[in-house]
C-alpha cells in the first residue's frame, strides 16, 4: 500500500508542498503560486502573537481575486471595540476560573477602560443577535453580515 509509483525520495522533500485556499473562491493553491496581502481588520486576532492582532492575511489564487478581497476589507470599518472584545474573549478562553476585569485587561494588554468597552461591545452584539434570532443564537452563523 505504500507505493503508488511516486518517486518516494524527493517529491515532497522540500517546502513547496504547502497549500492554502483562495479566500475568495476556495480553490486550493500551491504555496509558491499563492498571492497574499495584509489588510487591517478589527475582527482578526492572531492565534499566538497579540502584536499581529487587527491584521488579516488574505490569500488568493489570482490578482483579480486578491483585488476583490482587498476591496472588501477596505470597505469594512475598523472598530477598536471589536478588537478589544476579541482580545478579552481570547484571554477569558485561557482562564479556568472567573477573573476580575482588571486582570483580564492586564492579561490582554489593554487598559481597564478598553477592556470594559470591549466587553460592552461584545454584550451589545450578543443582545442584537438574540433580539434578531431569539434563542437560536449560534445555530446558524453562515449568513453573518460581512
Binding site for Zn ion (CB under 5 A): 22, 24-25, 27, 61, 65
Distance of alpha carbon 51 from alpha carbon 143, whole angstroms: 30
User: Which residue's CB comes closest to Zn ion?
Assistant: 22
Which lies closer to Zn ion via its Cβ, residue 65 or residue 87?
65
**20 or 81: CB nearest Zn ion:** 20
CB-based contact 42:54 (threshold 8 Å) = yes
Q: Which is nearer to Zn ion, 62 or 106 (CB)?
A: 62
| 91-100: long-range contacts, CB 8 A cutoff, minimum separation 24 | none
3-state secondary structure of 29: strand
Beta carbon of residue 55, minimum distance to Zn ion (angstroms, whole number):
21
Minimum CB distance to Zn ion, residue 69 (Å): 9
Report how far apart, in Å, the C-alpha atoms of 17 and of each of 20, 24, 28, 29 are.
Answer: 10, 21, 12, 10
Q: Is 37 helix (H, G, I), strand (E, B) or coil?
A: strand
Strands (E) located in 32-86: 35-40, 55-60
Which residue's CB is nearer to Zn ion, number 69 or number 119?
A: 69
61 or 115: whose CB is closer to Zn ion?
61
| Least Cβ distance, residue 8 to Zn ion (angstroms) | 32
Supply the minimum distance, in Å, between the C-beta of residue 18 and Zn ion: 17
Kindly state the smallest distance separating residue 22's Cβ from Zn ion, in Å: 3
Amino acid at each position: 500500500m505504500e507505493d503508488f509509483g511516486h518517486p518516494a525520495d524527493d517529491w515532497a522533500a522540500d517546502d513547496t508542498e504547502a497549500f492554502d485556499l483562495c479566500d475568495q473562491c476556495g480553490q486550493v493553491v500551491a504555496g509558491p503560486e499563492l498571492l497574499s496581502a495584509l489588510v487591517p481588520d478589527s475582527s482578526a486576532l492572531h492565534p499566538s502573537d497579540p502584536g499581529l492582532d487587527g491584521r488579516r492575511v488574505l490569500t488568493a489564487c489570482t490578482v483579480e481575486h486578491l483585488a476583490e478581497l482587498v476591496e472588501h476589507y477596505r470597505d469594512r470599518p475598523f472598530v477598536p471595540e471589536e478588537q478589544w472584545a476579541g482580545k478579552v474573549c481570547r484571554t477569558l478562553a485561557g482562564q479556568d476560573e472567573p477573573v476580575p476585569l482588571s486582570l483580564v485587561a492586564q492579561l490582554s494588554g489593554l487598559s481597564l477602560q478598553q477592556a470594559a468597552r470591549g466587553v460592552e461591545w461584545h454584550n451589545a452584539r450578543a443582545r442584537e443577535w438574540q433580539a434578531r434570532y431569539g434563542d437560536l443564537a449560534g445555530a446558524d452563523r453562515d449568513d453573518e453580515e460581512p
